[in-house]
């Protein structure tokens, strides 16, 4: 762990008292700088000249106004209202950070932070309240909200990265079976076309789907997330099929109808931790590759290499036959679909937070038990974590070396693409969270050091890095009980007062100096 000492750099932000009152942010007396002890210092190289530093949020997690201004009900609205006990503390997104009404305050936070880009998402049901892509059903108030925000970002010199789907499926489409039904791919593509038409003149970086593994596995595999379907044998695979197809359809629409005039680009966010073998054995090394294929490759391989990963096909097909199925539990792409999907990405977007240890559990032809016909059993891998890895919540562990390895894996496996890190950050439990968040600074510094090593020492083409998140927000089933923001939000205050954390000022120093030291003369 890097050791930080705190210095004070006297510098008022030149924000007037009225603006300070509006923002509700404790800023003006001083800015926190950080120097680093000689041992285990962060990388002292500057970020490449055109490297972009940013932060991210998502519509449902910050906007609130769940039923205002013509917005329709979406999956997580329904889930949290119908099954309130499924979310910690019975939290909901009804108000969240109230960014629908306080977007201008959030914009000021972004401007003072000095970021190059801001990743945000559009709520499908705020644009199309009933989900259907009919021009007569477009909600003009929703369009105005996003248009105003996007134009303000651009005026401030902040590049928007816009995600079309960040888990908030209109409830009408959930009633059609959601991501288990391939017809949703067509509805998503039609919604994407409308967004390209409405905002494509100013948005040049589009992301179709956010983290399909997470919403497929948690929503249709374990049932931990909305819509709460525990379909462990086929749910993840069906969802993956529909999601990959939906992405490809949206990419082709942009490529064929908008790229020539709008000159933008389109990607999909793939999420994955890194995996290390538990033991230095051939079996555990093979377990790592299986885990990567089932977790990461299930979504990335069809897009970048064509078709599902070979061993995923081989294993699920063979196990399905041994289990007595007359078909494979893994949906088949037609040859036409394989060619249609392959190559549908203009850059590689990845979200990553942690790492796990992988241990071989069984071979594909073992443990064929009717009660164990699951996505997990297909992998035959058991995951664990090293207790030495720093962590404050169960799903985020500080393993910066794993981050560097994941970037190298993407580079070497998927054709050396341009990589945009669209989410990375440190999670704190609400009981330990606060504005003095030194652990977050340590995590971000070490992960950014690993990123610089991947760029300069390994030759990996990483063009952007995005902290999750700008501010504390609704973390899905974890409610407001986990904090990942650079800015604290007081959810007990009707005003949702924002207060900058130490990590906010540290990241501001990084965006200003373009390196990880408060004294830029120490960087090369």
Please give, one letter per residue, the 3-state secondary structure of 80-106.
Answer: HHHCHHHCHHHCCCCCCCCHHHHHHHH
The question of whether 423 is a catalytic residue gets the answer: yes
The distance in angstroms from the start CA to the end CA of the chain is 22
Angle between helix axes 235-257 and 183-199 (nearest 10 degrees) is: 40
Active-site position among 63, 211, 276, 446: 211
> 108: alpha, beta or left, given left = phi > 0 and alpha = psi -120 to 50?
alpha
Tokens of 341: 């999907």
Contact predicate 471/98, CB 8 Å: no
Q: Using the structure block, give the residue that is written with the tokens 């490529």.
A: 255
Residues near 176 by Cβ (< 8 Å), separated by ≥ 6?
Answer: 183, 184
Give the integer Cα–Cα distance in Å for 250 and 186: 9
Please give, one letter per residue, the 3-state secondary structure of 429-458.
Answer: ECCCCCCCCHHHHHHHHHHHHHHHHHHHCC
* H-helix or E-strand spanning residue 72: none
Helices H / strands E in the chain, number of each = 19, 19
Task: Report helix, strand or coil for 193.
Answer: helix
β-pairing, 348-351 vs 355-360, is unpaired
Neighbours of 136 (CB within 10 A): 5
Alpha helices in 295-347 (DSSP H): 298-304, 310-322, 335-341
Give the integer Cα–Cα distance in Å for 104 and 102: 5
Active-site position among 234, 276, 423, 446: 423
Q: Using the structure block, give the residue that is written with the tokens 């081989």.
A: 314
Tokens of 99: 């960014």
Contact predicate 215/196, CB 8 Å: no
Give the integer Cα–Cα distance in Å for 119 and 142: 18
DSSP structural state of residue 301: H
Give the integer Cα–Cα distance in Å for 219 and 301: 22
Give the integer Cα–Cα distance in Å for 510 and 465: 12
The question of whether 234 is a catalytic residue gets the answer: no
Q: Give me the phi and psi of 474, to 5 degrees please.
A: -75, 110
Q: Which residues are catalytic?
A: 211, 423
């Amino acid at each position: 762990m890097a050791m930080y000492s705190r210095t004070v750099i006297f510098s008022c932000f030149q924000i007037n008292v009225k603006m300070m009152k509006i923002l509700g942010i404790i800023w003006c007396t001083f800015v926190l700088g950080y120097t680093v002890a000689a041992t285990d210092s962060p990388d002292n190289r500057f970020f490449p000249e055109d490297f972009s530093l940013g932060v991210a949020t998502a519509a449902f997690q910050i906007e609130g106004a769940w039923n205002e201004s013509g917005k329709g009900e979406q999956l997580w609205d329904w889930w949290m209202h119908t099954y309130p006990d499924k979310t910690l503390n019975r939290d909901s997104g009804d108000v969240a950070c109230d960014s629908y009404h306080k977007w201008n305050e959030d914009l000021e936070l972004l401007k003072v932070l000095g970021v190059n880009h801001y990743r945000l998402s559009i709520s499908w049901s705020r644009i199309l309240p009933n989900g259907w892509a009919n021009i007569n059903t477009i909600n003009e108030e929703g369009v105005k909200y996003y248009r105003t925000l996007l134009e303000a970002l651009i005026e401030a010199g902040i590049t928007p990265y816009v995600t079309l789907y960040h888990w908030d499926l209109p409830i009408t489409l959930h009633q059609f079976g959601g991501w288990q039904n391939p017809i949703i791919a067509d509805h998503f593509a039609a919604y994407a076309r409308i967004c390209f038409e409405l905002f494509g003149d100013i948005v040049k970086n589009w992301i179709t789907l956010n983290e399909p593994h997470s919403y497929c596995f948690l929503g249709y595999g374990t049932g931990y997330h909305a819509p709460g379907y525990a379909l462990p044998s086929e749910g993840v695979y069906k969802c993956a099929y529909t999601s990959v197809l939906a992405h490809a359809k949206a990419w082709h629409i942009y490529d064929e109808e908008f790229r020539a005039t709008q000159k933008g680009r389109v990607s999909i966010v793939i999420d994955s931790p890194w995996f290390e073998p538990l033991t230095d054995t051939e079996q555990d090394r093979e377990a790592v590759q299986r885990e990567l294929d089932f977790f990461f490759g299930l979504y990335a391989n069809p897009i970048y290499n064509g078709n599902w990963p070979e061993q995923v096909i081989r294993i699920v097909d063979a196990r399905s036959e041994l289990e007595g199925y007359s078909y494979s539990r893994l949906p088949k792409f037609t040859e036409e679909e394989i060619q249609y999907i392959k190559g549908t990405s203009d850059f590689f977007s990845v979200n990553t937070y942690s790492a796990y240890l992988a241990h071989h559990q069984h071979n594909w032809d073992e443990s064929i038990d009717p009660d164990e016909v699951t996505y997990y059993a297909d992998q035959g891998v058991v995951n664990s974590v090293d207790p030495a890895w720093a962590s404050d919540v169960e799903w985020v562990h500080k393993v910066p070396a794993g981050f560097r390895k994941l970037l190298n894996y993407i580079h070497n496996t998927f054709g050396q693409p341009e990589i945009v890190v669209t989410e990375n950050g440190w999670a704190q439990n609400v009981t330990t969270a606060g504005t003095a968040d030194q652990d977050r600074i340590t995590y971000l510094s070490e992960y950014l050091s690993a990123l610089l090593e991947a760029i300069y020492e390994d030759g990996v083409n990483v063009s952007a890095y995005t902290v999750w998140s700008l501010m504390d927000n609704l973390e899905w089933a974890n409610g407001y009980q986990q904090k990942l923001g650079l800015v604290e939000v007081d959810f007990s205050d009707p005003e949702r007062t924002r207060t900058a954390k130490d990590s906010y000022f540290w990241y501001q120093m990084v965006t200003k100096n373009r390196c990880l030291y408060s004294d830029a003369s120490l960087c090369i």
